Amino acid sequence: MFDTLKVDLRRNLQDYAPCGTLKRLALCLTLNSTQALMLIRFQFWCARHHFPTLFAAKLLFWFFKIEISKYAHIGPGLRLPHPMGLIIAPNVIIGPDCDIYADVRLVLAHGAKEGPQIGRHVFLGDGAKVVGHVSVGDHAIIGVSSVVTRDVPAHATAVGIPAKVITEHNDREADTR
Ligand SMILES: CC(C)(COP(=O)(O)OP(=O)(O)OC[C@H]1O[C@@H](n2cnc3c(N)ncnc32)[C@H](O)[C@@H]1OP(=O)(O)O)[C@@H](O)C(=O)NCCC(=O)NCCS
């Protein structure tokens, strides 16, 4: 939990000027993004160790209106600039270093068991939805309020309802760490 959280926190604080340990600690404890991430990682930690996840899940819901299934998989380096209104269904897989904005929904199709598979370093803009067992390739960008119902290739930018690829090779560079 702590290794993953450390990577998450580092990525979420990267927009802030380099600062000392005390300021970093203060930011970690006060920013919405870092608070939500601590609860998310705590929920997964509880699930992995067979402890009840209800407490973390309720706090996430009360404070952030976030519902994330304990059966989802989220890679390290998750960045949540506006952690509000996220819904992530069971069996959704999110790769490392993704950016997820407010009101993003990653949900199953009716009756299906497999969820969306999001690659590494994907950008899911405000209100984006990904529905069903589709894959969003590495470094892809999904525009504001778009609804993805088909696979999106790596490095593509997709927008609209249903989302269509408008750029096959966007300029989203891989994070270095
Ligand atoms: C997807 C995105 C990156 C595309 O940016 P871009 O590559 O600069 O593309 P453009 O703005 O030039 O738009 C290209 C076309 O796609 C359309 N388009 C762009 N974003 C769209 C969206 N979210 N939904 C529908 N159409 C969209 C534009 O209207 C334009 O259409 P046109 O060619 O018919 O005029 C950007 O629109 C976006 O959604 N960014 C995410 C912003 C975000 O979530 N910010 C969070 C901050 S809180």
Q: What pLDDT digit, counting tens, does each position of 74-86 carry?
A: 999 999 999 999 9
The CATH number that applies at residue 20 is 2.160.10.10
Give percent above pLDDT 70 in the chain.
98
Nearest protein CA to atom 18 of ligand 1, as residue:
159
Number of domains in the chain: 1
Nearest protein CA to atom 31 of ligand 1, as residue:
166
Convert the pLDDT of each residue in 43-75 to its tens digit: 999 999 999 999 999 999 999 999 999 999 999
User: What domain range includes position 80?
Assistant: 2-175
Nearest protein CA to atom 44 of ligand 1, as residue:
125
The response to whether residue 146 sits with its C-beta less than 6 Å from ligand 1 reads: yes
The response to whether residue 43 sits with its C-beta less than 6 Å from ligand 1 reads: no
The response to whether residue 160 sits with its C-beta less than 6 Å from ligand 1 reads: yes
Nearest protein CA to atom 25 of ligand 1, as residue:
160
Q: Which regions of 56-170 does DSSP assign to beta strands (E)?
A: 67-68, 73-74, 87-88, 93-94, 99-100, 105-107, 117-118, 123-124, 129-131, 135-136, 141-142, 147-148, 157-159, 164-167
Q: 1 or 148, which is more confident?
A: 148
| pTM exceeds cut of 0.85 | yes
